Structure 1
Amino acid sequence: MIIQPAIKSNICVRVHPLGCKENVRRQIEFVKQSGEFKGPKTALIIGGSSGYGLASRIALGFGCKTNTVNVSFEMEPRGATRTGTAGWWNNIFFQQFAKEEGLSFKDFVGDAFSFEMKEVVVDYIKKKYGKIDLLIYSLASNRRTDPRDGVTYKSVLKSIGDEVRGYSIDITSLSLKEEIMEPATEEEINNTIKVMGGEDWQMWVEMLSEAGVLADDFKTIAYTYLGSPATYPIYKDGTIGQAKKHLEQTAAALDNIVKEKYNGEALISSSKAIVTKASIYIPIFPVYGAILYKVMKKHGTHEGEIEQKYRFFKEMIYGNERITDEESRVRPDNLEMDEQVQSEVEDILKSVSNENVREITDIEGFIDDFMKINGFNFDNVDYDEDVDLEELAKLELL
């Protein structure tokens, strides 16, 4: 099969396995070239197959030889034409590279929200490692079945109060298109909190604690995005913002518990804006991101996910250069929030249009990153080569 990108409504429905391998390899090479650092012995990552979760796993595994356990929901390839998800291949090839380095790892593919998955993972940790030093919560999902009542809740990307209008990016035409974000109902707000708030994170910590597998000085970190005033209507002031408030309230409650029991800490970390599988079709965000890329590259401060997570763990979590805000959130997005950077982004946002979008933003770079997380646009991958998916599908997670 010759695998070419297939974009539908700004979603890439086809991925390239060998491109995914290259994506993982390049992140590993960055860490190895940047040098080792002090870190945790064993880490559990909820959502470690892509984005900041994958970058965290790579930074820890290859930066300080951390044993990593990942829980993610992915689709494996089927037959000769269905390519599976990028996260599936990221897991496969992370394992290949980690095995070559003699690292210890484990992947569980399934519903991280369920009690069944939690029990399997906790039992594995107890038998294999005894205890963990770090839990990273980097789960992104649009639905969650609460294991206690069996009800499935769906999250929505909506505003609160008034509708929000703004430009998004059409990937196929490299142009702007107007999007309208409708106001959410009270039920939709509550459902979004159920899916994207801190409830499941707290359940993981409680089950791990009850099983006696949390080490002294245990840390747990949940990832969030705060953004700038330019993105407040869709994040801080929208349904996502309400879920993130709940996440922060959960962090405060967990912090008291792990401090008392383990001399540890529970943290919220606000990450920099990057391209993810979901962010490309969120109203306003892609245009903001394309402008941010342009400005930060000009200033020499642009970071992808691996650059940020390497700096985050080496300097802010296991080093002595932690940056926090008044709400005690850890802020590796400090370079994005630089006053000069934000001032320039705001000025460009006011004047961006279809006539100048390619000149005053880095729309090409933003979309290039989107293609890369799906395994495309790597200069050393032959995309005209026939890929035997059925043969590749024989690779199994260990």
Structure 2
Amino acid sequence: MIIEPRTRGFICLTAHPTGCDENVKKQIEYVTSKGAIKGAKKVLVIGSSTGFGLASRISSAFGSDAATIGVYFDKPSAPGKTGSAGYYNTAAFEKHAHKAGLYAKSINGDAFSNEIKRKTLDLIKEDLGQIDLVIYSLASPVRTHPDTGVRYKSVLKPIGGVFSNKTVDFHTGNVSEISINPAEGEDIANTVAVMGGEDWKMWMDALKSENLLSENATTVAYSYIGPSLTEAVYRKGTIGAAKDHLEATAFTITDDLKSIGGKAYVSVNKALVTQASSAIPVIPLYISLLYKIMKAKGIHEGCIEQIQRLYSERLFGGDLALDEKGRIRIDDWEMREDVQAEVAELWKTASSENLSEIGDLEGYSKDFFNLFGFKVDGINYDADVNEMVAIPSEK
């Protein structure tokens, strides 16, 4: 079939298997071009099919020759219907990993559930014995608690007052004002239940209780802080409360892992175009301006560049460079004073009329469509493509 992008707001309803494969291949090529990383050899990535999770799996496998297990939740392909981008990414990753002689298996299902945890633990026990590194990179708007059955839904709201600022429709380039009402009722608690650290700790408890973590095992979860421009709706909003909980959980997990010399860290990453970030008002406009500035300075990074640097320089490079709250700051280039000062200046004048000049809306849009395998260089989108793709380890 001929597959074209069909969008609804910040979601693309279709995905292109050949484009997704090429995206994965390019990320692999980047990692291998940077040389070997003396990292973990047995890696579990929870939330492994897109964005930072996929980049983590690629960096582990092709940077450190690691055996990887990926847990993801994506829609498989069906006759006449495309699978989700994460499904095609996972199929591509496994194909390239197996071709390189690397162990790679994937489990498709709700990582919050006891069933998927059990399935993952059994696979580790059977195939790998123990895990050296656990990457926690889940991004989900809802969570059903595995023990109580209560379903929580996260919200993106400020705390304590209405938030008003500029935003952009990245499909049209239209800059407008947006107002978001503050959190109320159980909004904060529900968002923390979905996006906080409880599930991360549940995974680590389960792995430790069954002796599936190696001596000195490490686990890393991903977070974001961002600039003052976005803090009212992000870091000081409901999502920020969840991130605070996630970051506090790192210390709890480290205490729990003392008996095996294990450590838990939170890595604060750069603002990038992901399916999750595209849904946050203000963020697309901020990223568009940020991209323009960082590209001009030669310090722009995508997900794979970020994670490769996290691995090679921080996690396995001998210098974690933790901040005052014990976090790894791989957002250091984004948060440079000169970068943020220029973003703040451009923000004041950003409009529908000048955004194409002062921002990188084209780069934002390309990155967005790339997530789903579209607008990838070198792909003939007029060619007939087989939407039915199998994931090798799930046959």
Alignment of 1:89-100 (within 5 A): 89-100=88-99
CA deviation after TM superposition for structure 1 residue 311, in Å: 0.7
Identical columns (%): 44
Kept in 1, the 8 Å contact 2:95–2:392? The answer is no
Identify the residue that residue 40 of structure 2 maps to in structure 1: 40
Alignment of 1:293-304 (within 5 A): 293-304=291-302
SS in structure 2 of the partner of residue 353 of structure 1: coil
Among candidates 359, 362, 373, match of residue 361 of structure 1: 359
Distance 1:123 1:166 in 2: 49
Alignment of 1:324-363 (within 5 A): 324-363=322-361
CA deviation after TM superposition for structure 1 residue 179, in Å: 2.5
Identify the residue that residue 108 of structure 2 maps to in structure 1: 109
Unaligned runs of 5+ in 1: none
Greater shift, 316-325 or 45-54, is seen at 316-325
CA deviation after TM superposition for structure 1 residue 360, in Å: 0.4
CA deviation after TM superposition for structure 1 residue 394, in Å: 4.7
CA deviation after TM superposition for structure 1 residue 396, in Å: 4.6
One-letter code aligned to 2:167: S
Q: 1:61 to 1:299 in 2, by over 3 A?
A: same
Q: Are 1:118 and 2:99 an aligned pair?
A: no
Distance 1:186 1:232 in 2: 21
CA deviation after TM superposition for structure 1 residue 397, in Å: 4.0
Kept in 2, the 8 Å contact 1:323–1:332? The answer is no
One-letter code aligned to 2:174: S
Kindly tell me the number of residue pairs found equivalent between the two proteins.
394
Identify the residue that residue 177 of structure 1 maps to in structure 2: 176
Q: 1:394 to 1:65 in 2, by over 3 A?
A: closer
Distance 2:363 2:87 in 1: 25
Identify the residue that residue 9 of structure 1 maps to in structure 2: 9
Question: Normalising by the residue count of structure 1, what TM-score does the alignment of the two structures yield?
Answer: 0.97
Identify the residue that residue 167 of structure 1 maps to in structure 2: 166
Greater shift, 319-328 or 197-206, is seen at 319-328
Identify the residue that residue 54 of structure 2 maps to in structure 1: 54
Kept in 1, the 8 Å contact 2:88–2:389? The answer is no
Identify the residue that residue 383 of structure 1 maps to in structure 2: 381
CA deviation after TM superposition for structure 1 residue 171, in Å: 3.0
> Over residues 132-184 of structure 1, what are the superposed CA-to-partner deviations in whole Å (9 max), with x where a residue is unaligned?
01111000000001011111111011111111122322233122233322211
Identify the residue that residue 195 of structure 1 maps to in structure 2: 194
SS in structure 2 of the partner of residue 14 of structure 1: coil
> Over residues 178-234 of structure 1, what are the superposed CA-to-partner deviations in whole Å (9 max), with x where a residue is unaligned?
332221113011000000000000000000000001111110111001111111012
Identify the residue that residue 303 of structure 2 maps to in structure 1: 305
One-letter code aligned to 1:99: H
Identify the residue that residue 23 of structure 1 maps to in structure 2: 23
SS in structure 2 of the partner of residue 377 of structure 1: coil
Unaligned runs of 5+ in 2: none
Identify the residue that residue 209 of structure 1 maps to in structure 2: 208
One-letter code aligned to 2:389: A
Distance 2:321 2:104 in 1: 30
Q: Are 1:156 and 2:152 an aligned pair?
A: no
What do you get for the CA RMSD once the two structures are aligned?
1.1
Alignment of 1:211-250 (within 5 A): 211-250=210-249
CA deviation after TM superposition for structure 1 residue 49, in Å: 0.4
Distance 1:352 1:117 in 2: 46
Identify the residue that residue 393 of structure 1 maps to in structure 2: 389
